[in-house]
Chains A and B, each alone.
Chain A
Amino acid sequence: MKIETIKEELIDEFSMFEDWMERYEYMIELGKSLPIVEPQFKTEDNIIKGCQSKVWLHAELESDKIIFTADSDAIITKGIVAILIRVFSNQSPEIILKTNTDFIDEIGLKEHLSPTRANGLVSMIKKIKMYAVAYQTQIGL
């Protein structure tokens, strides 16, 4: 699916909610559906440390697309991770690098991507982009 379509889908889904509680409940649901990292990839190297919640991120190249899997020890963080994975996984490195995270603001979860938030999500986006750069170079060769 096109990355723009996925973003619109998400914005649509979140626009149905009336208050923060419903938004959070949905995010927690999404967290439960996250494509979980295989245990062998839940390594120290794949940990993104944000002082309070941990995020694991693993990437693999399938033909020209990057497949991301992830996990977190905190459920709300896991929900946001699931949203990011839904957008960025199964896309080409080029598209990943071109796509920004403004949709997070639009679905009312901006506070979670603030750099001062101690949840590791900002570092996670950086890591997603780093994988994209790395695989782009690899495909280019």
Chain B
Amino acid sequence: MIFDVENIRNDFPILSRNVNGKPLIYFDNAATSQTPQQVIDVIVDYYSNYNSNIHRGVHTLSQEATDKYEGARQIIQKHFNALHSHEIIFTSGTTHSINLVANGFAGLLTKSDTVLVSALEHHSNIVPWQMLCEKTKATLKVIPMTQEGALDMDAYDNLLLLNPKLVFVNHISNALGTINPIEEMIQKAHKVGAAILIDGAQACPHIKPDVQALDVDFYVTSGHKMCGPTGVGMLYAKEAWLHKLPPYQGGGEMISEVTFEETTYAGLPHKFEAGTPNICGGIAFGAAIDYMNSIGFDAIASYEHELLEYATGKMNAISGMKIYGPKENKTSVISFNIEGVHAYDLGTIIDKLGIAIRTGQHCAQPIMDFFGISGTARASFSFYNTKQEIDVFVEGVKRATMMLR
């Protein structure tokens, strides 16, 4: 398929709306991506035609919903190249997935154990491990980062000498867009017998990870970053780990037999899916992955790279511009500050021009502390954005800077 951004934009109804009287320019894609009509149609179809509970009913609607939901699981399995579809657990999103694993490890760690977490993490990938270490008295160690915003791999090698039980790192940093060398980190973790969890929330909108080739133990992501709805995500875990971890929540759907003396848990993946799940969300998540594959991840990555280069060049020409994070090896995210301008003020003014960016700490306070700043402005581009939009954005930033200085 030929990549035609104008055609692609027609798939996204929201891109034709106005904000504050100006055409919307949506550059907050790293927080939430927009939803194409193809996915919206799936959501409407679900509630219009076969809304019902899954796995329990003998009736036709329940069977249809179950088939579609399990079909979505298979789409996800195939997309991430998991060995089995039961290695894909539906969750409410990345944060839920991480908590599920952290909670499971509470019974497997003792106070003599060490857990490694990278300095490039988002709060949702720090707090659950802090809670886990509080509970188990295990030690939490941080893999530091370099001034360029990359992980310090020498320090990682040294920390691995402590024989950690677990390593947590994001595939791509949400605040800086840094692509971490996860292949190498996974291999090295395994050499010392550590399990490793990769947070793929920022990676999956741009690249297609192969969990078997990576040999990763746990990989987590969210649907709403990849053209799907909010409130749904997934945990991939190797089957052996899913047998080893205890269930996260008790409830319906996750049991096979219940008496007041004892409950036997259901098999995989149901052991980790207590209660009625986000059925429509799961089905729409599958549709979103199909949509992205119909465009193609190679085409997406190369077009977004083009946008990134174009925007970086234009932005660097603005006086007082400071862009944070690596120059190479990053996704289409530009985290920046302009001398003498508070990010919050900038975001407020350009919102008046119809431009949506993220400002603040990006839920990554430790990274902001590292650079000694209170926050940044962040523009993140998706495959449905255009160079013309970048031009309008750069003009908007210049105009705001003139007002604010």
Q: Which of A46-54, A59-67, A130-138 contacts B (4 or more CB under 8 A)?
A: A46-54
Contact B375 A28 (CB under 8 A): no
Q: Which residue of A21, A25, A52 is within 8 Å of B343 (Cβ)?
A: A52
Give Cα A25–Cα B345 distance, bound, in whole angstroms: 12
Give Cα A54–Cα B345 distance, bound, in whole angstroms: 12
Q: Which of A4-12, A33-41, A74-82, A83-91 contacts B (4 or more CB under 8 A)?
A: A74-82
Min CB distance B350 to A, Å, is 11
Residues of A14-59 at the interface with B, using a CB-CB cut-off of 8 Å, are 20-21, 24-25, 28, 51-54
Min CB distance A120 to B, Å, is 10
Q: Which residue of A20, A51, A74 is within 8 Å of B345 (Cβ)?
A: A74
Answer yes or no: B10 CB below 8 A from chain A CBs. no
Q: Which residue of B20, B360, B404 is within 8 Å of A51 (Cβ)?
A: B360
Answer yes or no: A104 CB below 8 A from chain B CBs. no
Provide the residues of chain B in CB contact with A52, threshold 8 Å: 343-344, 359-361, 375
Return the chain B residue nearest A118 by Cβ. B360
Contact A25 B342 (CB under 8 A): no
Give Cα A24–Cα B296 distance, bound, in whole angstroms: 43
Min CB distance A116 to B, Å, is 14
Provide the residues of chain A in CB contact with B404, threshold 8 Å: 28, 75-76
Give Cα A74–Cα B349 distance, bound, in whole angstroms: 12
Answer yes or no: B348 CB below 8 A from chain A CBs. yes
Provide the residues of chain B in CB contact with A53, threshold 8 Å: 342, 344-345
Contact A73 B360 (CB under 8 A): no
Give Cα A53–Cα B352 distance, bound, in whole angstroms: 18
- 1/0 contact trace for B371-389 toward A, CB 8 Å? 0001100000000000000
Contact A74 B360 (CB under 8 A): no
Given contacts A51-B360, A52-B359, A75-B342, contact A24 B375 (CB under 8 A): no
How many chain A residues touch the partner (CB < 8 A)? Answer: 16
Provide the residues of chain A in CB contact with B20, threshold 8 Å: 20
Provide the residues of chain A in CB contact with B343, threshold 8 Å: 52
Give Cα A25–Cα B375 distance, bound, in whole angstroms: 23
Most buried by A among B20, B345, B352: B345
Give Cα A119–Cα B404 distance, bound, in whole angstroms: 17
Contact B349 A24 (CB under 8 A): yes
Contact B359 A20 (CB under 8 A): no
Contact A119 B403 (CB under 8 A): no
Give Cα A54–Cα B373 distance, bound, in whole angstroms: 13
Residues of B338-372 at the interface with A, using a CB-CB cut-off of 8 Å, are 342-345, 348-349, 352, 359-361
Q: Which residue of A21, A51, A73, A74 is within 8 Å of B403 (Cβ)?
A: A21
Contact A73 B352 (CB under 8 A): no
Give Cα A75–Cα B347 distance, bound, in whole angstroms: 12
Contact A21 B344 (CB under 8 A): no
Give Cα A24–Cα B348 distance, bound, in whole angstroms: 10
Give Cα A76–Cα B343 distance, bound, in whole angstroms: 11
Given contacts A25-B403, A28-B403, contact A76 B352 (CB under 8 A): no
Provide the residues of chain B in CB contact with A119, threshold 8 Å: 344
Give Cα A28–Cα B374 distance, bound, in whole angstroms: 21
Contact A73 B361 (CB under 8 A): no
Most buried by B among A21, A53, A118: A53
Min CB distance A83 to B, Å, is 15
Most buried by A among B342, B349, B359, B375: B342
Min CB distance B53 to A, Å, is 34
Known: A20-B20, A21-B352, A25-B403. 7 other contacts (CB 8 A): A24-B403, A28-B404, A52-B343, A53-B342, A73-B342, A75-B345, A76-B345
Return the chain B residue nearest A79 by Cβ. B345
Provide the residues of chain B in CB contact with A74, threshold 8 Å: 342, 344-345
Give Cα A131–Cα B341 distance, bound, in whole angstroms: 31
Provide the residues of chain B in CB contact with A28, threshold 8 Å: 403-404
Provide the residues of chain B in CB contact with A118, threshold 8 Å: 344, 360
Provide the residues of chain A in CB contact with B359, threshold 8 Å: 52
Give Cα A22–Cα B348 distance, bound, in whole angstroms: 14
Min CB distance A24 to B, Å, is 7
Most buried by B among A24, A52, A119: A52
Provide the residues of chain A in CB contact with B374, threshold 8 Å: 54, 73
Give Cα A28–Cα B340 distance, bound, in whole angstroms: 14
- Can you list 16 A-B pairs with a CB-CB distance of less than 8 A? A21-B403, A24-B403, A28-B404, A52-B360, A52-B375, A53-B344, A53-B345, A73-B342, A74-B345, A75-B342, A75-B345, A75-B404, A76-B344, A76-B348, A76-B404, A118-B360
Residues of B317-355 at the interface with A, using a CB-CB cut-off of 8 Å, are 342-345, 348-349, 352
Q: Which 4 pairs between the two chains have the least Cβ-Cβ distance?
A: A74-B342, A74-B344, A52-B344, A52-B360
Give Cα A140–Cα B100 distance, bound, in whole angstroms: 55
Give Cα A92–Cα B349 distance, bound, in whole angstroms: 35
